Amino acid sequence: MPQPQIGVLALQGDVREHLYALEAAGARAVPVRRPSEVEAVDAIVLPGGESTTISKLARTFEVLEPLRERIGGGMPAYGSCAGMILLADRIEDGVEGQETIGGLDVTVRRNAFGRQVDSFEADVEVDGVPGDPVHAVFIRAPWVEAVGERVEQLARVKGGPADGRIVAVRQGHLLATSFHPELTGDLRVHALFVELVKGR
């Protein structure tokens, strides 16, 4: 796949930043809001945003099932923050009846680091991202509470009250981060995903 077409789920959230980062990392990036658009892409990014809103809109506008089918069938997906929640098989502290797309065998705790006054930026080492640590921005972020056997843990928070919490994971074609590489201009996480997509 020379230049993959990667969709960004564009129901709500920081869609534009992901589109920009994907293009800069060498992919063709398109917003996705409709079932037919889900079918047309090689891979999908689930952006940051409000997970309850995105989940509800995905159900209403009939993209939840198509996304489940395609991701279940091996389409690569990357989720940042709210996107990590949407990829998780199990969530803690969700709202009643909050649905996820699922596929990633993890338990994710929503708003785990606290409220907005606790939002922070810090350097984290991410396996698979060579060079300097990634400067990570955490905004009312979730963390990964528990992982299944097939899940690789790529990054943990160092120091502070959340020391050791898992904030990046990979399971085959699925990648998720608690933080927002799309906000910093560091393209390495998106490049990792684009390579993952090209390799399939």
Kindly state the number of chain residues that form the binding site for other proteins, as judged by CB under 8 A. 49
| Annotation marks residue 182 as catalytic | yes
- Of 46, 35, 64, 41, nearest to 10 (Cα)? 46
Nearest to 108 by CA among 138, 141, 71: 141
**Are 52 and 46 contacting, i.e. CB atoms less than 8 angstroms apart?**
no
Length of the chain: 200
- We find the least distance from the C-beta atom of residue 112 to other proteins, in angstroms, to be 12
Q: How far is CA 181 from the centre of its chain?
A: 10
- Asked if 12 interacts with other proteins (CB under 8 A), we say yes
Q: Which is nearer to other proteins, 56 or 70 (CB)?
A: 56
- For the segment 23-42, give every residue that binds other proteins (CB under 8 A): 33
Annotated catalytic residue: which of 18, 81, 173, 190? 81
Nearer to other proteins, 107 or 184 (CB): 184
Residue with tokens 């991701």: 71
| 83 binds other proteins per the rule CB under 8 A | no
DSSP string covering 118-185 = G-EEEEE--TT--SSPEEEEESS--EEEEE-TTPEEEEE--SSTTTT-EEEEEETTEEEESS-GGGTS
Residue 109 makes contact with other proteins by CB under 8 A: no
User: CA angle at residue 64 from 63 to 69, to 5 degrees?
Assistant: 95
If one asks whether residue 111 binds other proteins (CB under 8 A), the answer comes out as yes
Taking the complex as a whole, how short is the minimal distance between the CB of residue 173 and other proteins, in angstroms?
25
Q: Check the annotation: does 51 bind a ligand.
A: yes
State yes or no: 110 annotated in a binding site: yes
Verify binding: residue 107, other proteins, rule CB under 8 A.
no
The catalytic position among 18, 173, 180, 190 is 180
Distance CA 118, CA 162 (A): 11
Residues that bind other proteins (CB under 8 A): 10-17, 33, 48-50, 52-53, 56-57, 60-61, 81-82, 93-95, 110-111, 115-123, 137-140, 157-163, 180, 183-185
Catalytic residues: 81, 180, 182
Q: Which residues fall in the annotated binding site for L-glutamine?
A: 49-51, 110, 139-140
